[in-house]
Amino acid sequence: MRKWTIGTVVLWAVLMMTGCKQSDMPQENAVYYWRTEWRTDSVERAFLDHYHIHKVYCRYFDVVMRDGEPMPNATIRFVQGQLEGKKLIPTIFITENCMHKAHEGLAKKLVDRIVQMNETNDITDVDEIQIDCDYTARSRKTYYDFLQMVRDEAKKNGMQLSTTIRLHQLSMAVPPVDYGVLMIYNTGDPNKFNERNPILDIRDVEPYLRYLADYDLPLAAAYPTFRWIRNYQNLHLEHTVETDEILKVKEAVEKKRPELRRTILTYHLDKDNINHYKPETYEAIYHH
């Protein structure tokens, strides 16, 4: 019979807890909604149903600096009711300069505004808030303190908290949230678009993969299914990501972190984005 020492039992317990923390994600499909009006057409609703998408991370408003204070901006208008069987996750984008110093009362104001918007627009069954911020080493401490305060306020209203994680943030300490969504897009330098695709390129992703396996936070993964159009020196430039590139990156990150095949998001819900890719592409992205 094998004898178990106290040290062995403690080590096993630690390993079990760590493993649970990294894999504690439900198996579900989701999508971002990043427009200033909540309105879906028949193509978008059919897309949600066909790919069994029940969670929509809906951008409610941005928080930007104005006259030295963080203020809401570009608030969404709900011109259509909540879709039956779809859960909305209020998502707030905060510009990084809002986190250059602490702002007293900001966390409570943010959560109260979300609750008020839900009540006004009959948005029900909301059990989560997500905060999106491209924080840096300079703003990380302030941002993490802010997240903890948001998390405390969210819990008072029966909600958990998630945040976005960009690839460059994987080298930092984990934030105080319930889980993160790894944003696997906008990986390159838009000023070097002649060299590689600034939306997604495996060469820009690979340097960060060494941090992925040991990043001690449950993670979901978000992939780009959008076009980026801009005018540059009288040229009309359109950036899209080929299916092969998305699937190549998806395979690479899931090899390092198998958990990332469980909860998949795409950015973002829009008829033009849906029609740009073949159904087989979405089947491959959302396939478990």
Domains of the chain as residue ranges with CATH: 26-286 (3.20.20.80)
| Residue 38 reports pLDDT greater than 50 | yes
Per-residue model confidence (pLDDT) at position 48: 98
| Residue 109 reports pLDDT greater than 60 | yes
Average confidence (pLDDT) over 115-131: 98
pLDDT per position as a tens digit, 184-217: 999 988 777 666 888 999 999 999 999 999 999 9
| Residue 3 reports pLDDT greater than 90 | no
| Residue 9 reports pLDDT greater than 50 | no
E-strand stretches of the chain: 28-33, 37-38, 53-66, 69-73, 77-78, 87-94, 128-132, 160-166, 179-183, 219-224, 228-232, 235-239, 263-267
Question: Of residues 161 and 232, which shows the higher confidence score?
Answer: 161
At 22, is the pLDDT very low, low, confident or very high (cuts 50, 70, 90)? low
Q: What angle do CA 262, 264, 267 make, to 5 degrees?
A: 170
pLDDT per position as a tens digit, 24-36: 788 999 999 999 9
Tokens of 178: 């319930």
Per-residue model confidence (pLDDT) at position 16: 38
Out of 136-150, 183-197, 212-226, least confident range: 183-197
- CA end-to-end distance (rounded Å), the chain: 40
Per-residue model confidence (pLDDT) at position 185: 95
At 181, is the pLDDT very low, low, confident or very high (cuts 50, 70, 90)? very high
Q: Spell out the residues 6+ positions from residue 225 whose beta carbon is closer than 8 angstroms to its own.
A: 241, 246, 266, 267, 268, 273, 274, 276, 277, 281, 282, 285
| Residue 158 reports pLDDT greater than 70 | yes
| Residue 228 reports pLDDT greater than 80 | no
